[in-house]
Amino acid sequence: MTVTHDVRRTVSRLADGRQIIYFDDTAEAPARTAVDSRELGPRAAAGHIRHDALTGDWVAVAGHRMHRTFLPPRDECPLCPTGRGSVPSEVPDADYDVVVFENRFPSYAPVAVDDVSAPEGYLHAPALGRTEVVCFTSDHESTFAALSPHRVRTVVDVWADRTAELGADPDVAHVFCFENRGQEIGVTLHHPHGQVYGYPYVPARTAEMLARATEHHARTGRLLGADLLAAEQADGSRVVLTGEHWTAYVPYAARWPVEVHLAPHRDVPDLVALDDAERDELAHVYLELLRLLDGYFVGDDGASVRLPYIAAWHQAPTRTGRDVSRLLLQVMSVLRGPGKLKYLAGSESGVGGWVTDTRPEAVAARLRELAR
């Protein structure tokens, strides 16, 4: 299962000064020397963040994103290599393996404008940080699940690379790597891609998970994530897949119609800390998990329904709670049946009172059945 891996990293700049990084895992890949010929003007600055006094959450105000690209025609895809469509794209080269660039419409950026005049007692700050796009492949028609294990291994290295670099930025308090797949989730570009956010604060859900982990560690001396994994492994009824280094399971209190957690067996705080063997196996286990998820629902025509999902890497904040945090991938879907979506209506959106329509044990059993 070992993946022999060698990735060439090339850093360049787009016409407006934003950074672009090529990660090439193909031995014969040419040097990335193409120049962005577009006339873009100055790079867009991020806006600001406002503190919600009722909940303690921070909200980014990014008014310039109202007019960002939305489901463009195939020949105007900004994530395809330049030359494959009718207009130059965000990627100047004629091809690429994996590429990362700063978002043209950033929620957080190294340049931010805080022009708020707020009443006394209201908190606000510039939305400094980073918002990046990760293109997994130059093939517009592909998906993450269709990538080779070799390519997924590259993506894992890219996630670790971006976590390390953004985490070293003094303006970044937390790094979040994620993928949205499917129009039902709200994607605005069909090209297979994910994103990396470098937040100037620790987001609410991460802060909540960190508080629970800190309390558990103070009380038991153990990591909460490790104890949860051990409990799932011992029970077994919600375990979906297991390998030498990773286990996938449906969480005991799953919120979403289809939700799976993928956890490493070793205690690591983030993607950077994964060793080569763990990264190698992750490439295979994650692809197998996505294969099972894509077979979970069957339509009236007997064909499998491609599952829309959010894949979210939960990792330690950059400078706090690293001794009690444990890496975890959460894959979740709003689909509760072919053509049926789970809406976050009154209870969930109003007061955060979640109601799930399916027993987690039944979801796990269905996925194990597909693994046979």
Q: How far apart are CA 305 and CA 296, in angstroms?
A: 8
Helices (H) and strands (E) in the chain, counts: 6, 16
- Within the chain, residue ranges assigned H as helices are 149-167, 204-220, 224-235, 276-294, 346-351, 360-371
**DSSP annotation string for 8-52:** EEEEEE-TTS-EEEEEE--TTPPP----------SPPPB-EEEE-
Q: How far apart are CA 88 and CA 83, in angstroms?
A: 7
- Within 147-223, residue ranges assigned H as helices are 149-167, 204-220
Burial class (CB in 10 A: 0-12, 13-18, 19+), 105: middle
Spatial strand order in the sheet of 58-61:
58-61, 48-51, 124-126
Catalytic option among 48, 140, 174, 193: 193
Q: How far apart are CA 237 and CA 108, in angstroms?
A: 41
Q: Which residues contact 78 (CB under 8 A, 6 or more apart)?
A: 69, 72, 89, 90, 104, 189
| Angle at alpha carbon of residue 106, lines to 87 and 145, rounded to 5° | 70
Q: Is 193 a catalytic residue?
A: yes
Contact 123, 51 (CB under 8 A): yes
Residue type at 142?
A: S
Residue type at 39?
A: E
Q: Which residue do the tokens 């390998």 mark?
A: 243
Contact 100, 20 (CB under 8 A): yes
Q: Which residues contact 269 (CB under 8 A, 6 or more apart)?
A: 315, 316, 322, 323, 325, 326, 327
Token pair belonging to 202:
């620790």
Distances (CA, A) of 15 to 30, 33, 80, 295: 21, 14, 17, 43
Active site residues: 193
